[in-house]
Amino acid sequence: MKLQMRYADMWGCSKMDVSQYLEIFIDETKEHLQNLNEQLLILEREPDNADTINEIFRAAHSLKGMAGTMGYKRMQRLTHDLENVFSEIRNGKISVQASMVDVLFRGLDALENYLDVITNSGDEGDEDNEDIINDLNAFLGGGQPEAAAGAAPAEAPKKEEENKGEFGSVFKDLKVADFEQHAIEKAKSEGQNIYGIRVVVDENCILKAARAFLVFRALEEIGDVIKSNPEVQDIEDEKFEKDFIVLIITKESVDVVKNAVLSISEIAQAIVEPFNLDLSVEENIEKSDGSNVTGANADSPKSKASTAAATATAPAPAAAAKAKKADEKKPGGKPVVNRSVRVDIEKLDVLMNLVSELIIAKNGLVSLNAGTGHDDGKRSSSFNEQIEYLERVTTNLHESVMKVRMMPIESVVNKFPRMIRDLCKKLDKKMELFMTGEETELDRTVIDEIGDPLMHLLRNSADHGLESNEDRVKAGKPEVGSIFLDAYQDGNNVVIEVRDDGAGIDLERVKKKAIEKGTITEEQAETMTENDLIALLFRPSFSTAEKVTDVSGRGVGLDVVKSKIEGLGGDIECKTVKGEGSTFTIRLPLTLAIITALMVELGDEKYAIPLGSIQTIEDIPCSDIKYVQTREVINLRGNVIPLIRLDSILDVEPRDEKPESLTVVIVAKGEKLAGLVVDNLIGQQEIVIKSIGKYINNNKIISGATILGDGEVALIIDANTLV
């Protein structure tokens, strides 16, 4: 009988959804891949750095174990071959070469592609990457025998010979019931093979029962398991030392059976012999074809405590689905959207304490509401005290939750050194990336979205900004170009600068290109300032490149970057000096969830203007309003600032009376200023931003809505779109 039914009973269900562990796997795989990329860059510069080599090997080994545990065979196979190369480097048998590093990076890229497919579908796809595997094996000197994880190659044959007698005697004592004997005889008559397998678990394995379960699942993919020693229940209860024995009927060869067992992480050894007890000492482990996704995990590699913590309470592995079967895929085939945030336990303690105080405040208000024996004066005083206490707690709670949502920008920018390294080769330019402020924190929502715009700006600097090596030398510059990425906090905003020491933007060329495209007329071009010309670069589909490349633009201009940044409530500006370089400055809000805003009135309606955009609030006499090219402006302390009548833009019914002066909220976007005319100021208030999504069609002036204390809804004005 198939062991699948036994293990259905053993784990309490016939199938469990592996997605409960998938997010952990995705998170930790991203960390390992990023670590491998960073360490490989160091290894390329310092080929003899022993610490780096050891760190690379450990990360590759952990990644291989995780992929195997989850049942991603193709990913595991590629990682195993990468690990073999790292192992040979560590043992001093091969040296690091430039061509080897290129192949290793190709391997990491392939692993990232596997991860992308897994993230989107829960399945690793069908790409085998044989070309990369062949190149990796070529560095091993024509395919040396691979050793099981954790065991030195020279020791494996010796171990099997030492254990031959012990294994044979245990197998001889294995009692086979009549119905099992009948199944064996029938299998023999049909030309099938019957093997006994001694499985040895790594001595450092934490959850042996979980590893045993994965072994059985792997064997079920290639045959029928008819017997085990100890029995299934004892294996479930971990009532075995380091090894157990399995009897299997299969059409496969000894090698395939052995490979199926050794594909499981933390399995130190697998001795397979036919039912006639002829011992095989074959060591050349071949990978299975990867067409099956067996999988379940009860623990991750021991190097990752976070995954172990999620599963250490009980050995409860989840059976992964076969990749090819639609009924075992994730429901609806939806992408695996990773929305997790790792939180320091101290931050959670603070949150817990604040929630406790919130409950105390609530109880105090309830007590006051039901209280008797207090005169109205004392009751009113106590009520006010409780409200003040509640306000303090909620403010602290807000700040604490914001900190929990914050993540260092390091998680985004750490992938860029590798990208610049690849661009050096692709563009045949010498360049170096310098980064500061990686520890600067941003809201997780912003972190998720900022990566692509920054990547585009860096590619733009590498492709268009920096000159060729020859041109730099002719201009008296260092041959190696420099690109800088700096991040820092400025008030309630985070500023990210991408700059280079290249040729700068040729504004005359921009002007000429804009006239050719019909974007502007020659008359308009004559009156345009430097900032106006730079603003043309952010127009849709505008590019000065003579030909489209796959490095920077790919036919998509900076307008996409601008739209993305403004969609996050930020803004972008550019400054350039011809012959010296360009700087793109991005300003982003710290968080998108809760902000401080100025509440204003327009007619009978209330609106919120984010405080981060506001410079000052002025009372301007109507007589001070001037006109420049039919536009209303004011002269405020030497600055000419355009006025924007919000009631007109938002189609709000104006008030009947004509005031002698206007209340003007001065807002800023970079160095640009504008004055928003409002009817009345209500005051400063912390507001919770609610998305209006598909409910309202607007031209981006409204960025969301908030619910006020009296239940009214106030729209939030995005000042960036007005300036």
Give the H or E element holding residue 55: helix 50-70
Angle at which helix 98-121 crosses helix 19-45, to 10 degrees, equals: 160
> How far apart, in whole angstroms, are the C-alpha atoms of residue 61 and residue 202?
14
Assigned token pair, 504:
């700068």
> How far apart, in whole angstroms, are the C-alpha atoms of residue 226 and residue 708?
68
Please say whether the beta carbons of 419 and 455 come within 8 A. Answer: yes
Q: For the chain, what percentages of helix, strand and coil (3-state, to nearest 5) are there?
A: 45, 20, 35
State yes or no: is 61 an active-site residue. yes
Q: Which residue has the tokens 């106030």?
A: 714
Q: Is the peptide bond before 453 cis (omega within 30 degrees of 0)?
A: no
Catalytic hit among 83, 236, 467, 573: 83
> How far apart, in whole angstroms, are the C-alpha atoms of residue 446 and residue 391?
28
Catalytic hit among 460, 464, 467, 720: 460
Catalytic hit among 28, 38, 44, 61: 61
Give the number of other Cβ atoms within 10 Å of residue 88's Cβ.
16
Beta strands in 520-654 (DSSP E): 571-577, 581-589, 594-602, 605-610, 614-621, 626-628, 631-636, 639-645
> How far apart, in whole angstroms, are the C-alpha atoms of residue 303 and residue 60?
11
> How far apart, in whole angstroms, are the C-alpha atoms of residue 282 and residue 274?
13
* CA–CA distances in Å: residue 468 to residues 335, 472, 478, 479, 548: 42, 6, 11, 8, 17
Torsion (CA) 330, 332, 336, 340 in degrees, nearest 10: -100
State yes or no: is 573 an active-site residue. no
How many CA atoms, within 13 angstroms, populate the side-chain half-sphere of residue 416?
A: 30
- Give the end-to-end CA distance of the chain in Å, rounded to a whole number: 74
> How far apart, in whole angstroms, are the C-alpha atoms of residue 176 and residue 228?
10
State yes or no: is 460 an active-site residue. yes
Please return the burial class of 394, using the count of CB atoms within 10 Å of its CB with bins 0-12, 13-18 and 19+.
middle
Which residues are annotated as catalytic? 61, 83, 460
